[in-house]
Amino acid sequence: MELDKDLQARQQARELARQAEQAQKTLAQMPQEKLNAIVQAVADAFAKAAPELAELAVRETGFGNVADKITKNEFASKRVLEAIRNMTCVGVLKEKPEEKLWEIGVPMGVIAAIVPSTNPTSTVCYKALIAIKSGNTIIFSPHPKAIACTMRAADIVTKAAEAAGAPKGTVGCLSIPSMAGCKELMEAPETRLILATGGPAMVKAAYSSGKPAIGVGAGNGPVYIHHSADVEKALSCILRSKTFDYGTVCASEQSIIVEAPMEQAVKEKASKMGFFFMDKEQAGKLAKLLFKPNGTLNPEIVGKPATALAEMAGFAVPPSTKVLVAREQEAGPTRPYSMEKLCPVLAFFVMESEDAVLAKAIEVLIHEGSGHTFAMHAEDEAVIRKFALQIPVSRFLVNTPAALGGIGASTGLFPALTLGCGAVGGSSSSNNISPMDLINIRRVAWGTDHISAPQCPQGDLVEIITAKILERLK
């Protein structure tokens, strides 16, 4: 009897989880040096395949562009490897003689990794590197829209890891696109942690699985161009960020906020650089295209260039157009431009004062994007500090393209493709997720002289303590 697709997917998930658990027992015995060698081999193999995987991803999903997908793949291999090279994640991490304390890194075990369609290959390398570095095995659950390219990426990682000495089952990948299979993987007894990068429904499912999970929230970061900023440089950063892979990075800017005296200068310079400020009619046409009637993002607009979006919406723009901009003043479910748009489209807010800008940025983030990312262009450190102390985000970026700064490509943040949003954003972590988020720490603690006990037999000590308690209760 032939099993239906969901049953096959569930059975595959179970088998992969069992294999991964057995492999992890071997991996857990490996010293950091051996894990490092496996990680090096995986990163090298993936970097070589970066162009092939980029082409596969764009062809299969229709999202983004090949050049930026190559950059993402190289970031996920070369840049992540560089960041984790000298990390110690397993074994003795610290010895604190003065505190009579040791800290030992312990792998979590089998990790279930959800892969988004917007980053279907780079996410595989990034998550594999941080998992293996910390002594864990990993099983990928691809997005149905990106099954072939994700499986190809996982195959490259698997072969490189095993050739470098990793046990069979260290890396696995579901090959049947089924929510039933993904759910089975997340809830499998062998699964110890879920790394959930994807849409809100998938992240919610991860947190509802009964297993520890690290999920991400929606990105909807505003960018504030302060009057102390170099406006042309600020706009260049925003342009680079918002057109990078056609806006598919969740940390990319979603709205520009300026004070009224800055409006004209920003619009004039932006218009010369490829920003197209839509009129009310054009903005209305595009708004109908951005989201479905149920409020979810229309996948047909994700990762498409600005000129294609305008054509789809039914109006013409100059061929040099890079980003479409709509005037907006409010945030909420009936205001599509105030939400996350995974394409080169921006809202444009004009406020009367600095305090009004702060209030609007918070309003936008509370509506969607709490805990994720905020960007600011300014030279006035006092205003940067003022905003940094109040904006509810985990990544506050200054004078950098948000898409690149948020993932750690153009900032000192850990290079990551899973960006935690903290409690305010419904996440269990506010970190750019690194190997150190995938271990437990065992602490070995010696007795100290901080508490002195009477020199008497144990039985007498109990009697003395009991007597003192009774005396205090009288």
Distances (CA, A) of 142 to 26, 121, 155, 358, 398: 26, 10, 13, 39, 34
Nearest Cα residue to 109 out of 416, 425, 439: 439
Rounded Cα–Cα distance for residues 368 and 373 (Å): 11
Rounded Cα–Cα distance for residues 75 and 54 (Å): 12
Rounded Cα–Cα distance for residues 399 and 318 (Å): 28
Strand-strand pairing, 393-398 and 91-96: unpaired
Rounded Cα–Cα distance for residues 124 and 217 (Å): 19
Rounded Cα–Cα distance for residues 61 and 146 (Å): 6
Active-site residue set: 250
Helix axes 32-48, 122-133, angle to 10 degrees: 170
Residues in the chain: 474
Residue 145, CA atoms < 13 Å, CB-side half-sphere: 14
For residue 358, what is the DSSP state?
Answer: H
Rounded Cα–Cα distance for residues 347 and 246 (Å): 16
Q: Which amino acid is present at 147?
A: I
Helix axes 179-187, 200-207, angle to 10 degrees: 30
Secondary structure (3-state) at 93? strand
CB within 8 Å of 282: residues ≥ 6 apart: 310, 313, 315
Rounded Cα–Cα distance for residues 336 and 309 (Å): 15
> Tokens 């764009």, residue?
58
Please state, as a whole number, how many other Cβ atoms lie within 10 Å of the Cβ of residue 78: 17
Helix axes 122-133, 147-163, angle to 10 degrees: 30
